[in-house]
Amino acid sequence: MIQIDLTGQVAVVTGGSSGIGLAAAELFLNAGASVAICGRDSERLARAEAALRERHPQAPLLAARCDVLNAADVDAFAQQVQTRFGRADMLVNNAGQGRVSTFADTTDEAWREELDLKYFSIIRPTRAFLPMLRDAAGSAGSGNASIVCVNSLLALQPEPHMVATSSARAGVQNLIRSLAVELAPQRIRVNSILIGIVESGQWRRRFETQAQPGQSWEDWTGELARKKNIPLGRFGRPEEAAQALFYLATNLSSYTTGSHIDVSGGNARHV
């Protein structure tokens, strides 16, 4: 197993209070990085912070409430990171959820909400942390500066029952590629992961209401994975997506930018 020491580096994870974001924060802490996480839900954020501190009692960790769609919140979060750690080397943009709707039943307001969430959950944190990332890229120390975005396989493989989300995800992938080209001369790498179905609280809640009496989580998700033609026959786990994020955020992928890693269990149908 490849080992990497991130001592002296700072990883910032939005949407870090649960799921993929929380799993990514854990990986960065395990590698010795200082970590800043944020989330909208104060109670969930507090639980995440407590869990991380229990496992990493001496770790340099910052947890701050922040709505990434609120410019003032994001700027305040960036200032907290600057004050606490003095730098940011890696930014993980991990915020957003899927909207189930067809073209016929998606209102103008729903379109605006979906586009606002998908775009500005990347635009605002990137804008706020870019000065620190530029400094990290030019530093004599790590010289690693990166942005990694959690996107969806829907960006390349749209689903008609998720028309607004699919459209927004495709646009976001274009944005990520554009950022990679623009920031490459500044030695800031920009990449993404494209996730399929990954275990989450939302799926757990569906299991509780939809599973047959006595049906286990493994059986229920396995049956659903087969219906959705996922070749690996199961849902992904948050830590599996987080490992791809970790690779793209660190110098393990030092010659990779403008690219993506498919984390969909083989569900992609394109070449």
Indicate whether 231 and 246 sit together in one domain.
no
Mean pLDDT rounded to a whole number for the chain? 94
- Give how many domains the chain has, as a whole number: 2
Indicate whether 207 and 258 sit together in one domain.
no
Nearest to 250 by CA among 81, 28, 23: 28
- Say if 109 falls within a structural domain: yes
Indicate whether 89 and 216 sit together in one domain.
no
Round to the nearest angstrom and report the end-to-end CA distance of the chain.
29
Which of 54-63, 90-99, 224-233 has the weakest average pLDDT?
90-99
Nearest to 180 by CA among 74, 256, 83, 96: 256
- Say if 1 falls within a structural domain: no
Task: Specify the 3-state DSSP secondary structure of 10.
Answer: strand
Strand partners of residue 13: 37, 92
- Say if 2 falls within a structural domain: no
Indicate whether 143 and 219 sit together in one domain.
no
**Structural contact between residues 218 and 256, judged by C-beta atoms closer than 8 angstroms:** no
- Say if 110 falls within a structural domain: yes
- Say if 89 falls within a structural domain: yes
Indicate whether 123 and 243 sit together in one domain.
yes
pTM, two decimals, is 0.94
- Say if 141 falls within a structural domain: yes
Strand partners of residue 198: 236
Q: At what angle do helices 71-85 and 108-137 cross, to 10 degrees?
A: 20
Could you list the residue range(s) of the whole structural domain that residue 25 is in?
Answer: 10-198+237-262
Report the b/e string of 20-45 with b at 16+ CB within 10 A.
bbbbbbbbbbebebbbbbbbbeeeeb
Strand partners of residue 84: none
Indicate whether 158 and 254 sit together in one domain.
yes
pLDDT tens track for 62-74: 999 999 999 999 9
pLDDT tens track for 11-53: 999 999 999 999 999 999 999 999 999 999 999 999 999 999 9
**Structural contact between residues 133 and 182, judged by C-beta atoms closer than 8 angstroms:** no
